[in-house]
């Protein structure tokens, strides 16, 4: 059986060094781990990093899932600035948390008090729900959050999964992803109070679902505007294609009808499928979404003026990982290879299960019907990192 381990890379710009001495921008930083790379096994199975945060002290925390020979579990690892494991966090720098019959983290935020909140999914009795876990700075579960540090939230009738998480200034948390309603998926947001309870002033009982297209809609990124509005980015699908999709919500969870068409904006870029995985808010209020565009196998970027529909600006072949900017021009990234991902852009070979690949990136997520079953299967594609 092939074993996959959690990995973290660090790129160094080394801008403070004289030209003759400094490394080229984008080169791996030899002062981090071994040649700029760190590989961390958690269990003797499949360990996947999906999110990364940078602490004020320069330490890095990666979150994802690990397979413990029975189920997947939430997994967090904290690294010192040199890439070594931080022994003051969890057990030898590692923390795992089981929820239900299978769970995993896809997003991570750092609170001002040093606590960490991971969001993702948890499965039980054949259904998957939103799941959040809050950890103290030491890696122990924060018992003041939810039940023993854990919260699960069912939304639809089938499966729900969170892919993005933001922390609001008042300590409330908003998770975003999708809710499978049986016939199709809808965008889903849930807002939690600081103690993990649902914020009933948001949407209906703390939950909001939004249909955009005629088939499936999912979001993978979420940003909080200074005015309290939330913007989610992902994709919307029709019968034969997908397009970038952005949705803006008022602070109470209602759609902001001054944005796009009724609060929704879609952008078709390629000839078949376009999906956004990342979103940033510029100081001038414009939004930049990045993701995947098929046809040319490129990453797609679209910038949207506040209140208007997004427009495509440019396309590049570019990595899709979580990135965080550190001190002295260093960058850190984490990524993964999961069930159905292609190992190389030039082939259609698929990984049977999961794991993280160093210097390879996730580009897209699609659903295809399995012939004769009525079921859908996720497909992910990946490519080697740009040097």
Determine the 3-state secondary structure of 329 from DSSP. Answer: helix
More confident residue, 310 or 184: 184
pLDDT at 358 over 80: no
pLDDT at 198 over 50: yes
Give pLDDT, residue 14: 38
Mean pLDDT of 163-175: 99
pLDDT at 90 over 60: yes
Mean pLDDT of 325-334: 38
Upper half-sphere CA count for residue 182 (Cβ side, 13 Å): 2
Give pLDDT, residue 25: 77
Which of 3-7, 107-111, 355-359 shows the lowest per-residue confidence on average (mean pLDDT)? Answer: 355-359
Give the pTM. Answer: 0.76
Which of 45-49, 188-192, 335-339 shows the lowest per-residue confidence on average (mean pLDDT)? Answer: 335-339
Confidence band of 374 (pLDDT split at 50, 70, 90): very low
Residues 210, 187: Cα–Cα separation, whole Å: 5
Mean pLDDT of 223-236: 98
Give pLDDT, residue 4: 56
Average pLDDT, the chain: 78
Cα torsion angle, 107, 110, 111, 114, sign: positive
Q: Is the separation of the CB atoms in 7 and 37 below 8 Å?
A: yes
- For residue 157, how far is the Cα from the chain centroid? 23
pLDDT at 296 over 60: no
> Domains of the chain, with CATH numbers?
6-384 (2.130.10)
Q: Vertex 284, ends 280 and 287: CA angle to 5°?
A: 30
């Amino acid at each position: 059986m092939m074993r996959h381990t959690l990995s973290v890379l660090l790129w160094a710009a080394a801008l403070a060094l004289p030209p003759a001495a400094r490394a080229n921008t984008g080169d791996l930083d030899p002062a981090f781990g071994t040649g700029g790379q760190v590989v961390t096994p958690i269990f003797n199975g499949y360990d996947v990093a999906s999110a990364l945060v940078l602490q004020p002290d320069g330490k890095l925390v990666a979150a994802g899932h690990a397979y413990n020979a029975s189920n997947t579990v939430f997994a967090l690892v904290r690294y010192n600035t040199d890439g070594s494991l931080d022994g003051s966090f969890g057990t030898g720098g590692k923390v795992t948390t089981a929820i239900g019959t299978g769970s995993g983290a896809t997003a991570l935020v750092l609170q001002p008090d040093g606590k960490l909140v991971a969001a993702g999914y948890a499965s039980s009795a054949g259904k998957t729900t939103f799941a959040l876990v809050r950890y103290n700075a030491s890696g122990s579960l924060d018992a003041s959050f939810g039940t023993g540090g854990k919260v699960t939230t069912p939304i639809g009738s089938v499966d729900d999964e969170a892919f993005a998480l933001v922390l609001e200034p008042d300590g409330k948390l908003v998770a975003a992803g999708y809710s499978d309603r049986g016939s199709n998926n809808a965008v889903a947001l849930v807002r939690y109070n600081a103690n993990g309870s649902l914020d009933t002033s948001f949407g209906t009982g703390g939950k909001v679902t939004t249909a955009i297209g005629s088939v499936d809609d999912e979001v993978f990124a979420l940003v909080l505007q200074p005015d309290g509005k939330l913007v989610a980015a992902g994709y919307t699908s029709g019968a034969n294609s997908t397009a970038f999709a952005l949705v803006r919500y008022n602070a109470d969870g209602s759609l902001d009808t001054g944005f796009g068409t009724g609060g929704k904006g879609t952008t078709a870029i390629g000839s078949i499928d376009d999906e956004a995985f990342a979103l940033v808010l510029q100081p001038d209020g414009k939004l930049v979404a990045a993701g995947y565009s098929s046809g040319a196998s490129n990453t797609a970027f679209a910038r949207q003026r506040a209140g208007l529909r997004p427009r495509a600006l440019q396309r590049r072949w570019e990595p899709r990982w979580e990135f965080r900017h550190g001190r002295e021009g260093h960058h850190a990234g984490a990524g993964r290879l999961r069930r159905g991902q292609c190992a190389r852009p030039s082939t259609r070979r698929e990984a049977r299960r999961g794991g993280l690949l160093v210097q390879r990136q996730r580009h897209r997520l699609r659903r295809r019907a399995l012939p004769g079953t009525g079921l859908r299967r996720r497909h992910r594609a990946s490519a080697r990192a740009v040097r």
